[in-house]
Amino acid sequence: MQRELGSFPLTPGVRQKLHSAGFLLVEDIIQVTPEELGREIGITSEEAHDILTLITGATKPTSASGAVPTDPTMHLERVPGHMTLSEMLQEPQQFIVTFSERLDGMLGGGVPLTKITEFCGTPGIGKTQICIQLAVDVQIPECFGGVSGETVYVDTEGTFIVDRVKDIATAAVDHCHQMAAVEAGHNPQDTTETFTLVSILRGIHYFRCRDYVELIAIIHMLPKFLKEHTRVRLVVVDSIASPFRHHFDDYSLRTRVLGHMAQDLSRIANEHLLAVVLTNQMTTKLAAGEGQRSHLVPALGESWGHVAGVRVVLNWEGQQRCALLLKSPSRQQVIVPFQITTGGIRDVCSVSATQRHVTSPTPASVSSKDTSQGPTKRRRLDT
């Protein structure tokens, strides 16, 4: 609606009158009735009606009547890239697996592409580990059921430790190679050769950022970056909370800045068909009145709760790490246990032993080795 009125085929006299009355752009005039316009610039309402018809007709060639469109929903139909529900249903939803079947099951198959998923939890619960795991898993080739993508990793806390990435990536590579060995006839050998530690590390694009200005700048630059790196299927921001939790006295400004960022992220997720994974810290919500107890809630306030489509809260239950699906458009609220081993995120042992890990001995062997080493390792939960 930035078109100038001067660009329409109007007589110089009318143009002059419009200009001196302050009507410069289409948006200035579009909501005005012919009577008002006539009064404003000193012409008859018939003349004014003709002008308006001309302008609205030119800007909206589809509106047949030429009447002044006051209903804003009329514009919506013209938004490019719109989809009907049946079209959406035909497009299969793709997921990034977490390597923990129960966690995948909870999320409906893994972390969904085109959506924002948020992991919240207390320090040390494994948010960063999940992020690193996903950054590796997104690169699993298609023949293993992966999405064969790359990762943008935005690190605001400085907790991205390459040695740890190496551990997890090595475990993932071993796992896939073993799967390939079992189903050798069906997987061409060269695919497994391209999926190596080096290729994984090369596929993680790492941004370090220290304050919220840098974070906003990075997110602003992302569309351009993604155009150059079209294989990126995952954007991780670990964590979204830390840059916003200090130096912000004005909370309404913070909410606004966060809101803009959330919009940008969800646009990126949709346009580039990728998953956005955010981590959030927990904070204590103080008891508001009598009878209420202080309890832990995800940080950044109420309005931030609307941003992520899928929200998972990680917490300790006794000695067991558990994930609670707090919010999801399609899945019910459940709690599943998981554990973190040298190789990354895994199912709890007793579960993984009974399930189909016959084809993939890596997670089970890694985790059992690990539990025997550490005396304080998590007690296993029989479910």
Partner 1 sequence: MSLVELLRVTGLSANDISTLKETVAQAAIKCPVVTALQLHQKEGPAELSYGYLSTGCQQLDKFLRGGLLSRGITEIAGESASGKTQLCIQMCLTVQLPHELGGFSAGAVYICTEDVFPNKRLVQMVDLLKKRCHIPSVSDIKFTDNIFIEHAAELDDLSFCINKKLPVLLAKGQVKLIVIDSIAALFRCDFSVHEAAKRAKQLSAFAAQLTKLNCQYNAPVICVNQVSDVIHSTNGATQGSRKVMPSLGICWANLVTCRLMLSRTNETVTVRQRDDAGNVVSCIEANVRNMEVMFAPHLPNTLCRYIIDHDGVKALS
Contacting positions for partner 1 (CB under 8 A): 2, 122-125, 128-129, 153, 157-166, 198, 200-210, 213-214, 216-218, 220-221, 224-225, 241-242, 245-247, 260, 281-284, 286, 296, 299, 340-342, 370, 373-378
Contact 350, 368 (CB under 8 A): no
- 361-373 and 162-182 helices, crossing angle to 10°: 140
Q: Which of 96, 98, 85 is nearest to 127 (CA)?
A: 98
Contact 346, 99 (CB under 8 A): yes
Between 52 and 138, whose beta carbon lies closer to partner 1? 138
Between 279 and 352, whose beta carbon lies closer to partner 1? 279
Rounded Cα distance between 68 and 79, Å, is 19
DSSP 82-144: ---HHHHHHSPPPEE--S-HHHHHHHTSSEETTSEEEEEE-TTSSHHHHHHHHHHHTTS-GGG
What's the closest the beta carbon of residue 179 comes to partner 1, in angstroms? 23
Token look-up 């009318």 returns 14
Between 18 and 236, whose beta carbon lies closer to partner 1? 236
Q: Provide the 3-class DSSP secondary structure of residue 234.
A: strand
Q: Provide the 3-class DSSP secondary structure of residue 15.
A: helix
What's the closest the beta carbon of residue 267 comes to partner 1, in angstroms? 13
Distance of CA 106 to CAs 1, 179, 325, 335, 364, Å? Answer: 45, 24, 7, 8, 20
What's the closest the beta carbon of residue 321 comes to partner 1, in angstroms? 10
Between 19 and 331, whose beta carbon lies closer to partner 1? 19
Between 41 and 261, whose beta carbon lies closer to partner 1? 261
Between 59 and 159, whose beta carbon lies closer to partner 1? 159
